[in-house]
Amino acid sequence: MKSLGKCPFCQDGQIEVREGETSKSYACSNARWTKEYDFWELTKDSTCSFSVNQRALLRWNKKSFSEKEMRAMLSSGETKVRLYSGAKKTEYFKYVVPNLEFGLEVLWDVDIDA
C-alpha cells in the first residue's frame, strides 16, 4: 500500500488511499471501519481515527481534495486550496490543516493573496 505521508495524530500511522463505495478517502493505517447496519464504526483494534474524505470540501464547491494536496498538507502541516463562492461567483484561496475530528479544517481567519 502506498503512503501519502505520516499520520499527524499517531506514532507510526501512514496515510493510505482507500476506495469507498461512492468516493475515495485518505485514512491512517491504524484506523479501520466496519459497517454496522448503515453506520460506519471504528473497529475496536483501531488506535487512530484520522481520515479525510476526498469530498470534504464539497460544500465550498471544491469537488475533490486530491492525493497531491493531501501529500502537501501532510509534509508541511497545511496546504492551500482553491474554493469557490457561488453567491459571489468568485474563487478564493484558503489554507487547510488536518483535523482529527473532521478530517480537514479550513483556516477561515487567515487571508491569502492568490
Full strand arrangement of the beta sheet holding 24-28: 3-6, 14-19, 24-28, 51-53
Tell me whether residue 16 or residue 69 sits nearer to Zn ion (CB atom): 16
Tell me whether residue 13 or residue 103 sits nearer to Zn ion (CB atom): 13
What is the nearest approach in angstroms of Zn ion to the Cβ of residue 1? 14
Please classify residue 53 by burial: count the beta carbons closer than 10 Å to its beta carbon, then call 0-12 exposed, 13-18 middle and 19+ buried. buried
Residues that bind Zn ion (CB under 5 A): 7, 9-10, 13, 28, 30, 48, 50
Question: Cα angle vertex 10, ends 22, 69, to 5°?
Answer: 45
What is the nearest approach in angstroms of Zn ion to the Cβ of residue 12? 8
What is the nearest approach in angstroms of Zn ion to the Cβ of residue 31? 6
